[in-house]
Structure 1
């Protein structure tokens, strides 16, 4: 005879109650859920994609992620520092990433601020780091690993108001804080920390101006387009140039830079010595550190007007790589910032007119550098559907498609040469402790940006040297709890059986969703207290289902009355183990 224990029946009933409350859509509304529009992760995947792994570093995270074509997490590289901008996958499976100490660390308190470059191996070990941060110079935005193992880095350098006036800057357009011209340095890593600057190029060495005839650099930029007008776009203030990407061509030994302030791309000679880079002669192309090529806004050297401008606050200019469609052309994400034709972004592919020796066809006086127009442009079918004023990029894939990052919205698109979208992914990562669940809403931070920003996404094939021979077994998707297995340990260092993965949105006005994971079925209570520890409401009390679950709190107490605005504590308690997260309710 089978004996039925009433306690077992009660426990089973409570377990089903948890499942119904916390995972209800899957049990009771499966059909309706399937019809909802996906909000994060892989939004759609159609025929014609390039099969591989997507690599990205969310800008509010300490981790770098690798996901498969279904958005399932394959690998992470952790760091002790918040990402600044991009990360790069290296051939040995390590990553080279930028990191930041945050804004306010020095006088260089601007978007894209960095401080540190670090290399982290496949197993998450820090193997090298370099720092440049302070009131005299600070790393920012992009880096570029070189074939010789060195790293190109960009930095702001500080020039006083007096130094700017000496360089011919209009004194009415200089604050007391001076200006921040740009420098590019090549760093040779030494040991596990630090490096030697073995090459340097400075914008400040190549300025021209026709404002003050008493200065040594007095002249007409229209007659010298290889130089940089110190007063062009001076109304932008201290950071009036604002580089945001750097790339290298090993055969040409050239560097291409994205100058957001001027809405131009510039190419300079890397074959020079540092001394030659400071002058106007020498190097493989005989021009020293002067510009070899510029494109995007001919008004910057008085060879056109605003109607001739093509680039608008662009990012991520680089040469298309070997054996790819469009090899050696320049690919650039054109943000469209303040574009007169409207607020939309585009991708431009251009073919600079180049001579057999690698130099560029020089324009006749008062004419602009070629080409007259890009050879390929992508805009969304409804152009304004793709608009990101900041961040972003585009790279060519081996199948001829283009991988387009909409950085302000944490989104990446795979686009065919005909402009068809065949794959879309939206990062669910708001921070390492806030992951947007599927069908959840990503917070809008205003100014046309969401809270899940990503500087740049990349796609790598399974034959990439950094991935070959690695364990690429996928787990869950990030939005379904892939990051929870390493969250929360007991004081003794053992993994907790329960973890609170996210409380989102936070702050909230109507409802907030608590996402938590139970590693095995156990008696637990989830409740809300005020800051004095008084229980406001018990949300669930019973046997937890195994896996990730979610429930909501609507800002009411146990009697259904709205609570006051303020800080509250979400707590999960099991035996002697208690985990808590804070949440702010705003009425």
Structure 2
């Protein structure tokens, strides 16, 4: 009888302990902070001792479903679809598939590859210059973004699939695919180049100590940073975006930060554009040399002064989870609005609007055959003839549309594969169109 009583008592205690633990975790009541810190320390110790060869995340919080899978493509056809040569801006297009390795291809209007950049990512394995003792296998390295320069040099942002922070760094290749330099800090998403050749890249920094003013956010979490690199890839400065927000009149934006955000990714800066004097004049208080960034998780566009550092201008508008703000010559902004078209159930659209009045002068939500939609990624480019080139990322599709909304060129990228469920998946993060005259290195008739 005593043994039965003791056994039942132990079962009851275990059950009560489970209920208490679940309650503490769910409502983050005392001693949640101590337990979380202990778990984080234990995880860090395991990473240090084991090398974390089999971990899918290191640093902030576990990956979300968004990191692990892409939705099936809605159109299974690869190659050129609709094409009207008389209305399209005929030239050459470079694009960056997501979770793909080299080669990167420059194609003509028929989809033929006219130049390729190759690099075995195995040569990039090794520790990043961040203090994170992790050597990801080459199979987890992917190209996250590429920027083609007029002489054929290529800048590429390299990511690590399903790690946190997921950036590996930036590499520069020449037109013959020779590696010119590598920058081994966790760069992600995007970069830009100014007229002097300086490079502005986005970084992740894992925050492990409580952040003043953000005590409600449990550590660890991610801060986005802006790295300034010289033309040779040498780091010149690193600026914290969190600090720039807190140093500004826009510090209240941080009240929109979600404590439960996957991977502790509070801001998710996904785009950066260097502003010359003409572009800076469009934003109150901005100056030449400031940068325009897109903060996805806060639905915010912001101009950052890198010298101060502080946010000089910020705006929320009728967009959700946006990407790729472009400054147009007429003083308007062009933006990929991922989830803001509430008339179509929160699908995507391209917005052209005045950043001062928020007046929308043009939008493209898709055409009569298909609504435009990608839950993540997405980009657009205003072409010289007034058309707009769009990367519908999750559908693996690049399209060129006129001002009246007609599709005059359409391309399904061939980089596609079957996922574990047998679904065809393909994702293109970015595409850019060039005229023949703008690429003097290109050897084509």
Normalised by the length of structure 1, the TM-score is 0.54
Do the aligned partners of 1:153 and 1:184 also contact (CA within 8 Å) in 2? yes
Mapped to 1, the partners of 2:238 and 2:76 lie a distance apart of: 47
Do the aligned partners of 2:271 and 2:324 also contact (CA within 8 Å) in 1? yes
Do the aligned partners of 1:207 and 1:230 also contact (CA within 8 Å) in 2? no
Give the drift of 1:341: 5.2
- Match for residue 225 of structure 1? 250
Mapped to 2, the partners of 1:419 and 1:444 lie a distance apart of: 33
Cα 1:243–1:469 shift into 2, 3 Å: closer
- Match for residue 186 of structure 1? 228
**Runs of at least 5 residues in structure 1 that lack an aligned partner in the other structure:** 1-36, 133-137, 209-216, 278-288, 298-309, 321-325, 354-370, 431-441, 474-587
Give the drift of 1:154: 0.8
Mapped to 2, the partners of 1:143 and 1:347 lie a distance apart of: 21
1:262-309, Cα deviation, whole Å (9 max, x unpaired):
111111224x2xxx21xxxxxxxxxxx1x2222234xxxxxxxxxxxx
Do the aligned partners of 2:341 and 2:348 also contact (CA within 8 Å) in 1? no
Counterparts of residues 238-249 of structure 1 (less than 5 Å): 238-249=264-275
- Match for residue 187 of structure 2? 139
Counterparts of residues 542-553 of structure 1 (less than 5 Å): none
Q: Which is greater in Rg?
A: 1
Query: Higher helix fraction: Structure 1 or Structure 2?
Result: 2
Secondary structure of the equivalent of 2:325?
Answer: strand
Cα 1:150–1:206 shift into 2, 3 Å: closer
Counterparts of residues 25-64 of structure 1 (less than 5 Å): 39-46=77-84, 47-59=86-98, 60-64=100-104
- Residue from 192, 195, 206 that aligns with 2:234: 195
Greater RCO (Cα-Cα under 8 Å, separation 6 or more): 2
Give the drift of 1:98: 0.9
Mapped to 2, the partners of 1:45 and 1:126 lie a distance apart of: 36
Secondary structure of the equivalent of 2:170?
Answer: strand
The reply to whether residue 98 of structure 1 matches residue 72 of structure 2 is no
- Match for residue 150 of structure 1? 198
- Match for residue 74 of structure 1? 114
Mapped to 2, the partners of 1:114 and 1:385 lie a distance apart of: 32
Root-mean-square deviation over aligned CA pairs:
2.6
Cα 1:373–1:233 shift into 2, 3 Å: farther
- Match for residue 13 of structure 2? none
Do the aligned partners of 2:341 and 2:349 also contact (CA within 8 Å) in 1? no
Secondary structure of the equivalent of 1:153?
Answer: strand
| Aligned positions, number | 338
Normalised by the length of structure 2, the TM-score is 0.70
- Match for residue 129 of structure 1? 182
- Residue from 384, 395, 412 that aligns with 2:381: 395
- Match for residue 215 of structure 2? 169
Do the aligned partners of 1:335 and 1:344 also contact (CA within 8 Å) in 2? yes
Which runs of at least 4 in structure 1 moved beyond 4 Å after TM superposition?
337-341
1:2-49, Cα deviation, whole Å (9 max, x unpaired):
xxxxxxxxxxxxxxxxxxxxxxxxxxxxxxxxxxx9811101201300
Do the aligned partners of 2:157 and 2:187 also contact (CA within 8 Å) in 1? no
Do the aligned partners of 2:169 and 2:184 also contact (CA within 8 Å) in 1? yes
